[in-house]
Chain A
Amino acid sequence: MKNWMIETASRTALALALMGGLGTVALQAADVKSIAILAPEQGTDMGWNQQGVDAAKAAGAATGVEVVVAENLGYGDVRPTLRELGEEGASLLIAHASGYNTAAPEIGAELNIPVAIVDSPDKLSAGKVADYTASGHDGAYLAGRLAAKMSRTKVVGIVVSGEPPSWNNMSVAFAEGVKAENPAVEVRYAVIGPAAYSDAAGGKRVTETVIASGADVIFGQGNGSSFGMLQAVETTKATDGGKAYFIDVIGDKTSIDKGNLLSSVLWNLTPVYTAMIEDLKADKYGTRNYDIKLSDDSLSLLKTKNIPDDIWAQIEAIKADIISGKIVVEPKYDAESVRKLVKTVQ
């Protein structure tokens, strides 16, 4: 009898504790006070890292949530940082690098904290994981149309510092845009190296080679390495003796341009992070992935002084066609699709 009473009391206590715990989890899901973002490089790279950090801050300000920024973490193991931020009370861990998309779900599960990752849409899990592999393909397609219109040598280049899905997606769309504008324009493609995101020297070396192959417009995707690409177009003449141009992605380098920045496929992740916070508050996090698009200006093409007004007007018309659905650019995330569209040795 005594044993039965003890056992019943224990089970009751355990049940109450579990209920309390569940209640706490439910309460935490709705009570979002702070989120954290982890970036591999400084949030001042006028590109991927800056966009992530700035957008997280803007989303936090818009929703009244504190944002903790951990930047310059490199591309190694970030589990200790994830664990530390989680233990400090972050209600969401935004792992802002494709290299973090294994560690973040692991630590998120360990600490029971939702995480946001990139380049892994298949890892969507209710209450736990959501992906924001931003599909900038519509913007990259516009950049391709622009490059083909502007090229004098009828050769354009794509230089990337890695092949994560989101960049493959933009490379494919850029090449499709070029071919749609003028099928005779050749597209040359080169990857700097495996995960060469900070390899500015490699960025310059490879871009110089692509320019020497005849390209006069370079579509560059890199973090720190993109400054090497920009340096290459500034210091290397195109094969026709004229100026080489650079089309950047994600950020806006207008403030440091020396006259070679043609455009940029601008991303704005603020709506993405804002939606994440709102979904967290509504206890709906992990039921969908997030994206950017031309129609709400979370994706756009930068207008610089190097683009003539008449060509810009044509680009605006193409943009309207994409938004209306008249032109459809299908996302393709694999590197194989990129290679199919670039020049092949006969």
Chain B
Amino acid sequence: MALFTQSFIITLFLGAIAAGIPLLLAGLGEQLSEKTGVLNIGLEGMMLFGAYTGFLVAWSSDSLALGFVAGAAGGMVVAALMALLCVRLGLNQIVIGIALTLAAEGLTALLHFVQFSRTYPRLDGVPTLPLWPLSEIPFVGPILFNNNVVFYFAIVLVAVFAWVYRQTNLGIALQAAGDKPAALDAAGVDVTNTRTMAVLVTGALAGLGGAYMSIVVAGVFVPFMTHGNGFIAIVLAMLARGRPLWVLGGALLFGGSLSLTTALQVAGVDIPTDVIQMLPFAMVMLVLLVAGRKAALPVALGESFVRGSR
């Protein structure tokens, strides 16, 4: 049977998008946090908790929309703890981030055990929203213009973030919170509140990314299912040097590499699987070497802000 049929290639591209969208959402959130000076290592935990709450609500209410909202809310709950402990109380961001991830892993595994471990409920497929007439374009249409609503939202969000960062006073304030928090404070903007809001939005986006994984991609929730995506999103955000479009590119590059590894294996290319599976990570490292050398992270990244301190 012929392997590289149009439907097979379209499935590969859809697979790349499915793998890339959670990274895009979480990466945009991490980029926002880092811009304001908060290194959000707890991203994985926010994604995982969002995956759980999103799936739980989507399954119990039979509403995918409510599931996505719940996923964002779940991520925001974990982010609220991050904001309280790191931004408000000034505790170490790396330690708290790791602790929140571990706590989210333990809690969601426990909740899954209590609720789903005997029945493993699964959701039906997520409906798509065709953007006619673009959806009729051969090959490209089914991939880009006949997708689910979260995909369109994520793409629009890239443009919104790019506009906010480049064209608005809010964007300047966010940048200042990470680079020169004392100057922002002197200008009369509350640095702590700015960072708190950024962390909460990060949590919502990471939670939505997690919900996308459980509701759209997998259709099921299992413990530890985010599988390190939060940490990959942190790397993408750092590589993107504050540019949302680069997060989009990195997420799709990673997702595309994953699909390529599957294609190579299915085709039976005689290369050891371990080598093929290095491809997505090698891609990221290559980008890091080429583009990341000039990466300039915010000056106050990882530092808590205390008003009046030098």
What residues make up the interface of A, taking CB atoms closer than 8 Å to B?
Answer: 41-42, 44-46, 72, 74, 153-155, 157, 163, 186, 188-191, 193-194, 196, 198-206, 208-210, 212-214, 224-225, 227-228, 230-231, 234-235, 239, 253, 255-256, 258, 335-336, 339, 342-345
Q: Mark B218-238, 1 if CB is under 8 A from A, else 0.
A: 111111110100000000000
> Is the beta-carbon distance between A196 and B227 smaller than 8 angstroms?
yes
User: Across the interface, which residues of B come within 8 angstroms of A210, CB to CB?
Assistant: 262, 266
User: Across the interface, which residues of A come within 8 angstroms of B3, CB to CB?
Assistant: 213-214, 343, 345
- Identify the interface centre among A163, A191, A234: most chain B CB within 10 Å of its CB: A191
One of A213, A231, A256 near B119 (C-beta < 8 A)? A256
User: Across the interface, which residues of A come within 8 angstroms of B273, CB to CB?
Assistant: 163, 191, 335, 339
> Is the beta-carbon distance between B113 and A42 smaller than 8 angstroms?
yes
- B85 touches A (CB below 8 Å): no
User: Across the interface, which residues of A come within 8 angstroms of B117, CB to CB?
Assistant: 42, 44-45
> Is the beta-carbon distance between B227 and A227 smaller than 8 angstroms?
no
> Is the beta-carbon distance between A344 and B268 smaller than 8 angstroms?
yes
User: Across the interface, which residues of B come within 8 angstroms of A189, CB to CB?
Assistant: 265-266, 268
One of B266, B270, B274 near A209 (C-beta < 8 A)? B266
16 intermolecular pairs with C-beta atoms under 8 Å apart: A163-B274, A191-B273, A193-B258, A202-B258, A209-B259, A224-B223, A225-B222, A227-B222, A231-B218, A231-B220, A234-B122, A239-B1, A239-B7, A253-B120, A339-B273, A343-B3
User: Across the interface, which residues of A come within 8 angstroms of B222, CB to CB?
Assistant: 45, 198, 200, 224-225, 227-228
Known: A74-B224, A194-B277. A205 touches B112 (CB 8 A): no
> Is the beta-carbon distance between A212 and B217 smaller than 8 angstroms?
no
User: Across the interface, which residues of B come within 8 angstroms of A198, CB to CB?
Assistant: 222-225, 227
User: Across the interface, which residues of A come within 8 angstroms of B25, CB to CB?
Assistant: none
- B187 touches A (CB below 8 Å): no
- B109 touches A (CB below 8 Å): yes
- B294 touches A (CB below 8 Å): no
- B18 touches A (CB below 8 Å): yes
Docked pose: A227 CA to B268 CA in angstroms = 25
> Is the beta-carbon distance between B218 and A190 smaller than 8 angstroms?
no
B124 (CB) vs chain A CBs: closest residue = A235
> Is the beta-carbon distance between A205 and B18 smaller than 8 angstroms?
yes
> Is the beta-carbon distance between B268 and A199 smaller than 8 angstroms?
no
> Is the beta-carbon distance between A153 and B1 smaller than 8 angstroms?
yes
User: Across the interface, which residues of B come within 8 angstroms of A235, CB to CB?
Assistant: 124-125, 219
A interface, over-half SS: mixed
User: Across the interface, which residues of A come within 8 angstroms of B106, CB to CB?
Assistant: 72
Q: Tell me the smallest distance from the CB of A189 to a CB of chain B, in Å.
A: 6
> Is the beta-carbon distance between A42 and B223 smaller than 8 angstroms?
yes
Q: Tell me the smallest distance from the CB of B23 to a CB of chain A, in Å.
A: 11
B interface, over-half SS: helix
User: Across the interface, which residues of A come within 8 angstroms of B217, CB to CB?
Assistant: 201, 204-205
> Is the beta-carbon distance between A205 and B268 smaller than 8 angstroms?
no
Interface hit among B8-16, B37-45, B65-73, B189-197: B8-16
Give residues 222-273 of B contacting A (CB, 8 Å): 222-225, 227, 258-259, 262-263, 265-270, 272-273
> Is the beta-carbon distance between B266 and A199 smaller than 8 angstroms?
no
Known: A191-B277, A201-B225, A235-B124. A208 touches B268 (CB 8 A): no
10 tightest A-B contacts by CB? A44-B117, A224-B222, A212-B11, A201-B217, A198-B224, A200-B218, A343-B268, A201-B218, A344-B268, A199-B227
User: Across the interface, which residues of A come within 8 angstroms of B124, CB to CB?
Assistant: 235
Known: A186-B1, A224-B225, A343-B267. A212 touches B218 (CB 8 A): no
Q: Tell me the smallest distance from the CB of B219 to a CB of chain A, in Å.
A: 4
> Is the beta-carbon distance between B120 and A227 smaller than 8 angstroms?
yes
- B24 touches A (CB below 8 Å): no
A153 (CB) vs chain B CBs: closest residue = B1
Docked pose: A231 CA to B273 CA in angstroms = 24
> Is the beta-carbon distance between B277 and A193 smaller than 8 angstroms?
yes
Known: A205-B18, A209-B12. A339 touches B270 (CB 8 A): yes
A253 (CB) vs chain B CBs: closest residue = B120
Q: A205-B18, A335-B272 are in contact. List 20 more A-B contacts (CB 8 A).
A: A44-B118, A191-B265, A191-B277, A200-B221, A206-B15, A208-B11, A209-B11, A212-B10, A212-B11, A212-B12, A213-B8, A224-B223, A228-B222, A231-B122, A255-B118, A258-B122, A336-B272, A339-B272, A344-B269, A345-B3
User: Across the interface, which residues of A come within 8 angstroms of B259, CB to CB?
Assistant: 209
